[in-house]
């Protein structure tokens, strides 16, 4: 059983060694990497976000929690990225311009790699031109965009429009995700798909590349 409270306490205090140990112990006691994420780490990070929203904590505290989250994710990465199948598809992915959030994107990448896909990670704060350049260079079947801020979501629309302008729209499927993003928004901006979480992103990519 995942001790949610313990995950929250340690993550919110940014205790890197302790969160790594807690993650390791949970794995050794038979919890799956997915369960540790879904029931331990992600709810803990959500609580950090709620406290930030109500001004009970501030950016430095969110940063140390994010750093601890990355440390725990590094332990889960080899498990989540371990592929049992190889699908001939490549995905270029990045967090859009103006947005520095990368925890969710990195999780999506781990799960996609675990699903057998080749992933090119562009990083964070990626302007439209860099997405276009990467699509021309890597020729992926899918381009993925992540945004965590309502103010940066419009960059997804800009990127899709730029893909059309560059004559690349027909050769690549565009998928989007991130906390403020919705299915409705994806339809509005002409994306090919939206996924609410990392596991659904894998299913979405599978369905798009098999079409």
- Binding region for ligand B1M (CB under 6 A): 42, 45-46, 48-49, 52-53, 59, 62-63, 66, 93, 98-105, 107-108, 144-146, 148-151, 175-180, 195, 197-198, 201
Residue 119: both structure tokens together: 């992933």
| Apex 183 CA angle, 113 and 198, nearest 5 | 20
Cβ closest to ligand B1M, residue 49 vs residue 116:
49
Q: Smallest gap, in angstroms, from Cβ of residue 28 to ligand B1M? A: 23
Strand partners, 94: 123, 145
For 19, residues 6+ apart whose C-beta sits below 8 A from its C-beta are 7, 10, 11, 68, 69, 71, 72
Q: Smallest gap, in angstroms, from Cβ of residue 185 to ligand B1M? A: 12
Cβ closest to ligand B1M, residue 27 vs residue 179:
179
Cβ closest to ligand B1M, residue 24 vs residue 196:
196
Cβ closest to ligand B1M, residue 28 vs residue 58:
58
Cβ closest to ligand B1M, residue 22 vs residue 177:
177
Where does residue 143 rank: exposed (0-12), middle (13-18), buried (19+ CB within 10 A)?
A: buried
Residue 12: both structure tokens together: 């919110």
Q: Smallest gap, in angstroms, from Cβ of residue 109 to ligand B1M? A: 9
Q: Smallest gap, in angstroms, from Cβ of residue 101 to ligand B1M? A: 4
Residue 71's Cα: distance from chain center in Å?
Answer: 16
Q: Smallest gap, in angstroms, from Cβ of residue 111 to ligand B1M? A: 8
Cα–Cα distances in angstroms (integers) from residue 46 to residues 37, 51, 103, 174, in the given order: 12, 9, 12, 27
Query: What residue has token string 């332990």?
Result: 75
d(CA 172, CA 190): 13
């Amino acid at each position: 059983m995942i001790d949610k409270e313990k995950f929250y306490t340690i993550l919110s205090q940014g205790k890197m060694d302790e969160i790594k140990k807690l993650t390791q112990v949970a794995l050794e006691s038979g919890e799956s990497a997915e369960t540790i994420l879904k029931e331990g780490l992600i709810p803990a990070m959500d609580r950090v976000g709620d406290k930030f929203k109500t001004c009970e904590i501030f950016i430095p505290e969110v940063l140390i929690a994010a750093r601890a989250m990355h440390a725990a994710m590094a332990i889960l990465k080899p498990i989540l990225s371990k592929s049992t199948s190889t699908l001939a598809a490549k995905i270029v992915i990045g967090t859009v311009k103006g947005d520095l959030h990368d925890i969710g994107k990195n999780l999506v990448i781990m799960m996609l790699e675990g699903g057998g896909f080749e992933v090119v990670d562009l990083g964070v704060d990626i302007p439209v031109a860099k997405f276009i350049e990467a699509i021309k260079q890597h020729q992926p079947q899918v381009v993925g965009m992540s945004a965590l801020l309502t103010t940066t979501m419009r960059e997804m629309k800009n990127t899709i429009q730029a893909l059309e302008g560059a004559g690349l729209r027909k050769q690549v499927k565009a998928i989007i995700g991130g906390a403020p993003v919705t299915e409705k928004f994806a339809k509005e901006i002409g994306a090919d798909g939206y996924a609410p979480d990392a596991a659904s992103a894998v299913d979405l990519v599978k369905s798009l590349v098999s079409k």
